[in-house]
Structure 1
Amino acid sequence: MYYVNRQQIEIRLQFIPEIIRVLRSLQQTDPESPLYLFAEERALHLAVETVTDIGSYLIDGFLMRDASSYEDIVEILRDEQVVSPDLARPLLELVELRKPLVQQYFDLERDRLLPVAHALLEVLPQFADAVREYLEANG
C-alpha cells in the first residue's frame, strides 16, 4: 500500500492560483521596473518549487524511480504518465530556470524568463488538473 501525502500535495496545488494571480498582475506593470523584475523572478522560483515539491511527493508516494535532478522529477512525471509529453516540455523549461534563479540571480538572461512566465498562465492549471486526475485514477 502506498502512502501518498495528499494533504501536502493539495496545499501546494492550492498555491498555484496565487502564482498565476501574481503573473497576471505583472502584465499590468512596467517590465523594466525593479518591482516587476523581482516579482517575476520570485513567481518563477515559487512555480519551480511548487512543481518539484508536488512531483517529489508523487514520486515518493507511488514509489516511482528516484529522481537525480530537478529536471528528472518532471521526466519521471512524464514517464509515469502523470503529465503528458506536451505538458512536460514547458514544465522542463520552467524547472531548468531553478539554477539561474537561485544561483545566478545576479546575471540572469532576462529574455529567457518572460516566455516561461507567460506560458505558466496555461501550464500551471493544466499541471494541477493532471496531478488531481492522476491521484483520482490511482486511488
Structure 2
Amino acid sequence: MVDHKLLTQKITLLTEYIKDLTEIRDNAAITLSIFKEDKVTRRYVERTLHLAVECTLDIGSHIIADEKFREPISNKDVFTVLADEKIITPQSLAALQKMAKFRNVLVHDYAKIDPEIIYSILKKNLKDIEDYMEQIIKSYL
C-alpha cells in the first residue's frame, strides 16, 4: 500500500518546483539572450529542473516498491513500469523518459549543458511534469 503521507510530501515539493520554474518561464523579461548571460538564473533553473525530475523519479520508485511492481532497471525504466501498470498514460511515457535522460545530462555532463536546451525545456516542457503529477494524484490521492 502506498504511503499517502510520503506521497503527499513529494507532491508538495514537486508543486513548489513547478511553481518556481513557472515564475521564471512566465517572466517576459527573461529572454533567451538574457538567460544565456544570467548565470545565476540559468543555474537556478538547471538545479530546480534537476530537483523536479528527481522528485518525479522518487514518486515513481516509491509507488513501484509499495505496489510490488517489477523493479526498474534504470531511471528511464521507472516510467516504463508506471506506464505498464497503467499509472501514467502511454502518451506521457516518451516525454517522461526524455526527462530521465535529461536528468543524467544534468548530473553527469553538467559542464556541457547547452543553455538553449535548458531554456527550451523551461518554456515548453513543464506541462509534462504537471501531467505526471496529475496522473499520480488521480491514481493515489
Which has the higher relative contact order, 1 or 2, with Cα contacts under 8 A spaced 6 or more apart? 2
Q: Give 1:87's aligned residue.
A: 92
1:25 matches 2:17: no
Asked if structure 1 preserves the Cα contact closer than 8 Å seen for 2:14 and 2:56, the reply is: no
3-state SS in 2 of match to 1:96: helix
Is 1:38 matched up with 2:43?
Answer: yes
Q: Structure 2 unaligned runs (5+)?
A: none
Quote the residue 2:133 is aligned against: 128
**Matched length:** 134
Q: Partner amino acid for 1:122?
A: K
- What residue number does 1:5 align with? 3
Aligned equivalents of 2:46, 2:115: Cα separation in 1 = 9
Residue in structure 1 matched with residue 110 of structure 2 by the alignment = 105
Taking a change above 3 Å as real, the CA distance of residues 6 and 120 of structure 1, as seen in their structure-2 partners, is farther
Q: Is contact 1:44-1:94 (8 Å) kept?
A: no
Deviation at 1:35, TM superposition (A): 1.5
- Structure with the larger helix share: 2
Aligned to 1:60: 65
| Structure 1 outlier segments of 4+, above 6 Å | none
Conservation of the 8 A alpha-carbon contact between 2:53 and 2:100: yes
Q: Which amino acid aligns with 1:18?
A: E
- Aligned-residue CA RMSD (Å): 1.6
1:15 — aligned with what?
A: 13
Between the aligned partners of 1:83 and 1:115, the Cα distance in structure 2 is: 24
TM-score (norm 1): 0.87
Give the 3-state SS of the residue equivalent to 2:71 in structure 1: coil
Normalising by the residue count of structure 2, what TM-score does the alignment of the two structures yield?
A: 0.85
Report the residue type matching 1:55 in the other structure: G
- Structure 1 residues without counterparts, runs of 5 or longer: none
Shift of 1:91: 1.2
Which sits farther off after the overlay, 78-87 or 118-127? Answer: 118-127
2:82 aligned to which of 67, 77, 84:
77
Q: Distance in 1 between matches of 2:71 and 2:91?
A: 22
